[in-house]
Amino acid sequence: MTIDAAGSGAPAAAVDVDVASTTSSSSASPVTGKTLSSSRADDDLDMELSYWERLAINILRQGSVPEHVAFIMDGNRRYATSHHLPKVQGHRYGYEKLLQVLKWCLHLGVKYVSAYTFSVDNFNRSREEVTYLMDLASSKFAELGQHNGFLERHSICVKFWGDLSLLPPDIHEKCIELEAKTSKYPAKATLNLLFSYSSKLEVSQAVDKAIAAKSNEKQQSRGARLTWSDIEAQLYSAGTPPPDLLLRTSGETRLSDFLLWQITPETLICFVKPNWPDMTLLDFARCLMRYNTFKSSLQSAAAAAAHHRD
């Protein structure tokens, strides 16, 4: 499910959560060292955070906690290569990491998590890899939507951002089902899965929809003009605050067509060196500490500007 952003290499986080493979075999996670069964990956994923994780997160909560954190989860294939595994196996451990990071964010009090899981450009990869990724997504979406599954136990609502019409019909249907099912949860957090996503395509489609809506208004009222708000209302992200912190793993320093409209001058962008499955809580904590410094500087600048106006 977790997929390298197309054309991107990014700083990433370590994956400590098991992603069941598309086969029935078990394997030891290079991240946790535990045996991970493809039939019950959630058993390991739902274990409580370690004492040190809880301690670190409680300390981090004393500072400013971003409301919305976005991740470009890059480096899954490089992770697999470095561990002498088939490249597609890296996506398995990428999914594990996503679930672990979700736990960190939930304990921190982050309200929105956006994860770049599959870009439109990823369809250009080998047929074998795309098929594997679609099969993995199908399996994981089904598991996530199970009664008393990971999302329900942690009260996480899922929203899909992307052109789902490009997906195989069965995958498209599972996306719709998972989104509808989790919308009924008393959400503590929202997970935005950017799946079959392209920022340029998102904006293009939003403009087309906004123009169509405005054309209908013009039939009733002359002089209706298209505004930025009209476009934003048609984006996948409508109703979601812009990201406060954007983190990219694997050391690459580009955005790879990710949330280009939503990023603002108040978004801190962090590029970290580890591949996504290798990212640790310490890597994440460093970004959060940088965010606190960044947030303080923004507040100081705003206060100075207000004082100057007075």
Which of the residue ranges 31-45, 141-155, 290-304 would you say has the lowest mean pLDDT?
Answer: 31-45
Provide the CATH number for the domain around residue 252: 3.40.1180.10
pLDDT digits (tens, 9 = 90+) for 79-127: 999 999 999 999 999 999 999 999 999 999 999 999 999 999 999 999 9
| Residue 64 located in a structural domain | yes
The domain tally of the chain equals: 1
Specify if 196 maps to a domain: yes
Cα(310)–Cα(307) distance, rounded to whole angstroms? 5
Does residue 119 lie within any of the structural domains? yes
Domain range for 106 is 26-202+240-309
* Residue 42 lies inside a defined structural domain of this protein: yes
Q: Is the pLDDT of residue 27 over 80?
A: no
**Phi, psi of 69, rounded to the nearest 5 degrees:** -115, 130
Task: Examine residue 211 and state whether it is found in any structural domain, yes or no.
Answer: no
Is residue 222 domain-resident? no
What pLDDT digit, counting tens, does each position of 215-258 carry? 876 555 566 688 999 999 999 999 999 999 999 999 999 999 99
Give me the long-range contacts of 134-140 (CB less than 8 A, separation at least 24): 134/167, 134/168, 134/171, 135/22, 136/1, 136/19, 136/21, 136/22, 136/91, 136/92, 136/95, 137/1, 137/171, 137/174, 137/195, 138/170, 138/171, 138/174, 139/20, 139/22, 140/1, 140/19, 140/20, 140/95
pLDDT surpassing 80 at residue 25: no
- Determine which of 3-7, 31-35, 59-63, 162-166 has the lowest per-residue pLDDT on average: 3-7
How sure is the predictor about 39, in pLDDT bands with cuts at 50, 70 and 90?
A: very low
> What pLDDT shows up at residue 16?
29
pLDDT confidence bin for 42, thresholds 50/70/90: very low
Quick one: average pLDDT of 182-195? Answer: 94
Q: Is residue 229 part of a domain?
A: no
Domain annotation covers residue 14: no
pLDDT surpassing 60 at residue 43: no
Q: Is the pLDDT of residue 26 over 60?
A: no
